[in-house]
Amino acid sequence: METTTFADLGLSPKVQAAITAAGYTNPTPIQAAAIPVAVTGRDVLGIAQTGTGKTASFTLPMITRLETGRARARMPRSLILAPTRELAAQVEQSFEKYGINHKLSVALLIGGVSMDEQVKKLDRGVDVLIATPGRLLDHFGRGRIMLMGVEILVIDEADRMLDMGFIPDIEKICKLLPPRRQTLFFSATMPPEITRLVSQFLKDPVRVEVAKPATTAKTITQRFRFCPDGEDYAKREVLRELIKTGNVKNAIIFCNRKRDVAVLHKSLTKHGFNAGALHGDMEQSARTATLDKFRAGEIMLLAASDVAARGLDIPDVSHVFNFDLPWAADDYVHRIGRTGRAGREGHAASLVSPDDLKFVKDIEKITGEAAIWLGDAPTDEDFAGAGKRKRGRGGRVAPPPQRGREARGNGEHRQHGGGDRPERGPRPERAERPERSDRQERPQQPRHADQPRADRPPQQNRPQRSEQPRNDSPRREQHSTPRGERAPQQHQPQQRPPREARADSWTDAPKPASGAKPQAQDKGKQQKSQQQQGDRLGFADSMPAFMRKPPRPLKQPGRG
């Protein structure tokens, strides 16, 4: 159904007045197709490329349907699930813009923010609850929210939910909601897992598809720049050149890793660019402040991870740079969709290392367009070797792994940047060593361990230890007897002392110097042994020797 104005979409007069006050006159294709169906209360499956106005496609009909009714404490009337905090905050801003003529209460449940204010809003009752899956389940597990009163469920950026691993949480949340509800489901792509989710939780949905899944806007000029070096410092130099010569008003620069975002931000600031950073490890207050400064024009360049790739509506972004090509081709579509929004002209440039050429082929397949290169294009040999070679420092292809000291030398050379340290040559002593075949021809003497006992040399021919003893200790002498012969009686070890005698050897008690004290100790030992002959051993007598105390000497009469 083709429409020209918002008045033909079935929206309430208050909502139409808010749209007019915001400066909009004509709906986008996804809005013209989805809003009339959503107003009637039917389930909607919306498929459209990013930047086509999907947020207003569910925000406007929700405000119209929520005009009647009243919210109860801890029982929200509608629920919107978003994959990231930034996208959830953006949806809240849309309700503030289009619900200016309504008194709808809106609550935002996201991480990185104190729970106390969120709990206070939930206790007062909310008409619209916007949340990320993790924080919503956290509140539900604490008993702070009840979901049996939800009338409308919205799942935004469902394919991003799949990429972030939120599908199990989405399934759990959907099972907690009442079965009689309206579900609005929006996604840019439809992988098999998303299709299964739609068939499980949507009832006879109306499929609204205004563009081919994962297609880019025609207003975006896409270019690729091949970086044969492939190292990050070389790519940063190329990026600075593109920014200086590309008539860039403002730009978002995407990296695959959060640590690379921090390094790139530091490099841009060092070279005099007005830049900011946005990634998942930042505090929520810092992320919000950075986005507000970028929207206001206080920051020209925004180095970001994929946390800013989905759904963020930042108006009039002139350029998008892919410092790293994304690992998934769908993410490329969402990244460059931050520019060229709402019919504006945009530019996208991607830096491609030799190992990233395999991702270019995937991007060409999903977008249906051939890559246009800035400067020299990669050769067929570069495409053939993409992802098959390990690169060392300085852009050189790393040599095959070696063993021994040469491998350690090559590792140090690669670590220090390549080219600055001389190559380690072969060791001369290794060149002089004979080959393994020469060493094998040498006659080898048989070892005694490999021979039978009968073939060993006679024991009398072996040198005896007792011929040249190191000292006169009897312990040395008892080892001088040849193996296989019985040691003489005089070399046998002495008998072990009785239990009480051994107890003295395990203690640190000083030995008496006079002759009277040993006699007293002997008398005490005799009395104790006589007493133990007629009685059973008690617990104290059965203790190990080293745990027992030495017997106390008896006092002799006449001695103090």
Segment 188-217, tens digit of pLDDT: 888 899 999 999 999 999 999 886 656 677
Lowest mean pLDDT among 53-62, 307-316, 389-398: 389-398
For residues 438 and 121, which has the higher predicted lDDT (pLDDT)? 121
* DSSP structure class, residue 471: S
Tell me the C-alpha distance between 230 and 224, whole Å: 14
Q: Look at residue 47 and tell me whether its pLDDT is greater than 50.
A: yes
CATH architecture of 6-209: 3-Layer(aba) Sandwich (3.40)
What local confidence, expressed as pLDDT, does residue 455 receive?
A: 46
Report the C-alpha dihedral over residues 40, 45, 46, 49, rounded to 10 degrees: 180
What local confidence, expressed as pLDDT, does residue 395 receive?
A: 41
For residues 368 and 458, which has the higher predicted lDDT (pLDDT)? 368
For residues 144 and 109, the answer to whether their CB atoms sit within 8 Å is no
For residues 382 and 354, the answer to whether their CB atoms sit within 8 Å is yes
Q: Please, which pLDDT band fits residue 80 given cuts at 50, 70 and 90?
A: very high
Q: Which residues contact 474 (CB under 8 A, 6 or more apart)?
A: 491
Tokens of 387: 């992802």
**How many CB atoms sit inside 10 A of residue 359's CB?**
22
What local confidence, expressed as pLDDT, does residue 466 receive?
A: 46
Q: Please, which pLDDT band fits residue 58 given cuts at 50, 70 and 90?
A: very high
What local confidence, expressed as pLDDT, does residue 270 receive?
A: 96
Computed over its alpha carbons, how large is the radius of gyration of the chain? 42
Tell me the C-alpha distance between 474 and 489, whole Å: 13
Listed in order, the ranges of the chain carrying CATH 3.40.50.300 are: 6-209, 220-390
What local confidence, expressed as pLDDT, does residue 439 receive?
A: 44
Tell me the C-alpha distance between 83 and 155, whole Å: 9
Tell me the C-alpha distance between 223 and 218, whole Å: 13
Average pLDDT over residues 297-324: 86
- At 318 the three-state DSSP class reads coil
Question: Cα angle vertex 93, ends 90, 97, to 5°?
Answer: 140
Q: What is the overall mean pLDDT for the chain?
A: 77
Tell me the C-alpha distance between 245 and 225, whole Å: 14
Q: Look at residue 13 and tell me whether its pLDDT is greater than 90.
A: yes
Angle between helices 29-39 and 54-65 (to 10 degrees): 20
**How many CB atoms sit inside 10 A of residue 18's CB?**
21
What local confidence, expressed as pLDDT, does residue 390 receive?
A: 46
User: Of how many residues is the chain composed?
Assistant: 560
Q: Look at residue 109 and tell me whether its pLDDT is greater than 90.
A: yes
Domain 220-390 = CATH 3.90.1170.50: no
Residue type for position 233: Y
Q: Look at residue 36 and tell me whether its pLDDT is greater than 90.
A: yes
For residues 210 and 30, the answer to whether their CB atoms sit within 8 Å is yes
For residues 557 and 345, which has the higher predicted lDDT (pLDDT)? 345
Lowest mean pLDDT among 277-291, 371-385, 390-404: 390-404
Q: Look at residue 338 and tell me whether its pLDDT is greater than 50.
A: yes
* DSSP structure class, residue 465: G
